[in-house]
């Protein structure tokens, strides 16, 4: 029971991170030491596993799926996502600098931890550079304005869940780029189950396909794939810079001059340190 509660708590951290556009639950999975187990468990969701369950071997199918782990983690993600999504949306409207500062400190500390854990080879430097450039390219992409039709909701859900599995890229941010984020947030807030169901279908399809691809890549090029993913984490820092205005990254003083809003520099520094401290607490209890 204690282990399941730990998995639930790690899932809650992942869900909270993915509620913020620009922050990735995949990063949280990496620093808490469950990333590869998560990908392997998701990749085990296959037709032969379903056939095994339908033939009566429920226990065997459950073990193959790492069911206790997935269930505990999934419940934590869903509960956290549904309870924090609306709150995070309000905070990003009222005090975005504070939210970005906290997650900026969290991501930077995560990157330091992950780089120290990594088994480096020379090829990891260009791989990390390419990953960072891709993440920056995504962060600088212009947002679309897709209508919340079933086709786009399914596609958005598939892309968002695939992004959630990658450290440094947020599923919420992908929905934001597609122009679907407000509709999804409103649907969850209003309990519009039709829109939620279309997005959930897309998430399921994306999860089944992308997790198998990632699992195969990790099995063949484990350290190189993780080196590439470190670049995504590095690139994510651009998105969470606290003082952004008109697609510019500013100093606190320039931000105040341009927007007329308070920069809250001291509070941002404090929250960034708090985010870094949270990573330190989590990694002290996580395997390296």
Question: Mean pLDDT, consecutive 10-residue segments, the chain of 288 residues?
Answer: 84 80 76 86 80 80 86 89 76 82 87 88 94 83 83 92 78 82 82 89 89 89 90 83 83 88 91 88 60
Give the pLDDT score at 75: 92
User: Minimal CA–CA distance to 29: which of 38, 20, 40?
Assistant: 38
The pLDDT assigned to 285 comes to: 55
The backbone torsions φ and ψ at residue 154, rounded to the nearest 5 degrees and listed phi first, read -65, -45
* CA dihedral sign, ordered 249, 253, 259, 264: positive
The domain containing residue 185 runs over which residues? 2-284
pLDDT of residue 125: 94
pLDDT of residue 111: 87
Cα separation, 101 vs 114, in Å, equals 20
What is the pLDDT at residue 179? 86
- Spatial neighbors of 164 by CB under 8 A, at least 6 apart, are 18, 24, 25, 26, 170, 171
The Cα–Cα gap between 258 and 223 comes to 44
Residue at token pair 């309990």? 191
Residue 198 CA to residue 21 CA, distance in Å, equals 20
Say which DSSP state 248 is in.
E
Phi first, then psi: what are they for 31, rounded to 5°? -75, -20
Place of tokens 């002290």: 284
What is the number of domains present in the chain?
1
Q: How far apart are CA 135 and CA 235, in angstroms?
A: 5
Confidence (pLDDT) at 288: 41
Determine the straight-line distance between the first and last CA of the chain, rounded to whole angstroms.
Answer: 23
pLDDT value of position 207: 84
Helices (H), the chain: 2-18, 25-31, 35-43, 47-54, 58-64, 67-94, 96-117, 124-139, 150-164, 171-178, 181-189, 193-220, 222-239, 252-259, 265-284
- What is the structure's pLDDT at 21? 64
10 Å CB burial of residue 1 (0-12, 13-18, 19+) is exposed
Q: Are 118 and 165 in contact (CB under 8 A)?
A: no
């Amino acid at each position: 029971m204690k282990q399941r509660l730990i998995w639930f708590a790690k899932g809650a951290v992942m869900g909270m991170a993915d509620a913020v556009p620009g922050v990735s639950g995949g990063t949280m999975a990496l620093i808490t030491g469950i990333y590869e187990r998560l990908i392997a468990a998701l990749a085990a969701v296959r037709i032969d596993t379903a056939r095994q369950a339908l033939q009566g071997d429920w226990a065997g199918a459950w073990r193959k799926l790492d069911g206790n782990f997935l269930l505990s983690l999934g419940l934590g993600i869903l509960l956290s996502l549904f309870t924090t999504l609306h709150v995070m949306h309000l905070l990003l409207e009222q005090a975005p600098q504070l939210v970005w500062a906290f997650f900026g400190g969290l991501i930077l500390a995560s990157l330091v931890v992950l780089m120290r854990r990594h088994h480096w080879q020379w090829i990891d430097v260009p791989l990390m550079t390419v990953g960072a450039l891709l993440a920056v390219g995504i962060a600088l992409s212009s947002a679309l304005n897709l209508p919340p039709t079933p086709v786009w909701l399914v596609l958005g859900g598939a892309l968002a869940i695939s992004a959630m599995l990658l450290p440094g890229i947020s599923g919420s941010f992908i929905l934001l780029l597609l122009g679907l984020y407000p509709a999804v947030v409103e649907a969850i807030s209003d309990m519009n189950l039709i829109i939620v169901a279309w997005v959930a279908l897309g998430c399921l399809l994306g999860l089944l396909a992308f997790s198998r691809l990632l699992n195969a890549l990790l099995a063949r090029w484990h350290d190189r794939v993780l080196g590439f993913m470190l670049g995504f984490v590095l690139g994510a820092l651009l998105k969470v810079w606290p003082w952004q205005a008109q697609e510019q990254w500013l100093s606190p003083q320039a931000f105040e001059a341009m927007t007329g809003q308070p920069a809250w520099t001291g509070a941002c520094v404090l929250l960034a340190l708090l985010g870094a401290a949270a990573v330190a607490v989590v990694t002290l209890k996580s395997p390296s």
